[in-house]
Amino acid sequence: MKKKLYLICFFIVNLSFAQEVIEENIVKPQDLVQKQLEAYNTGNIEAFLEPYAEDVEIYDFPNTLINKGKDKIRPIYASLFAKYKKLHCKLVNRIVQGNTIIDQENVTFTEGGRVYGAIAIYKIKNNKIAKVYFIQ
């Protein structure tokens, strides 16, 4: 009886430990979005693109496809980062619903500080940003 009890306790402890390890290795959808936001604000193109899926789709809300694939968005954002040294995106509000992240953002492009409001909806799939919908 002691042997069975020991085995059950051993199994429960190891199962609990395994669950903790799994949870630590799971990337939260909001972490991916935050990572690209921080890279956007530093103008780091490689760090910005890292959270995106290779075949990411960028839409003008609700369903107008603007670009598809990292190879298509890389030159656009690289140019944006090079042109606007004071480029900054301020997160106003974030809603997390499962694998969908909705960010309300204020973006400043110029030295003069003109701010543009936007909404970005991020769809996460396989621990990558798979789709983005922009509302301006």
Q: Quick check: 58 and 134 in contact, CB under 8 A?
A: yes
Mean pLDDT over 18-38 rounds to: 77
Q: Residue 117: pLDDT above 60? A: yes
Could you tell me which residues are beta bridge partners of residue 49? none
Q: Residue 21: pLDDT above 50? A: no
Q: How confident is the model at residue 110 (pLDDT cuts 50, 70, 90)?
A: confident
CA dihedral 134, 130, 105, 26 (to 10 degrees): 160
Residue position matching structure tokens 């396989």: 126
Mean pLDDT over 89-109 rounds to: 96
What does the pLDDT read at residue 22? 45
Pick the closest to residue 89 from 107, 65, 110, 72 (CA basis). Answer: 107
| Residue 68, Cβ density class (10 Å: 0-12 exposed, 13-18 middle, ≥19 buried) | middle
Q: Hey, what domains does the chain have and what are their CATH numbers? A: 28-135 (3.10.450.50)
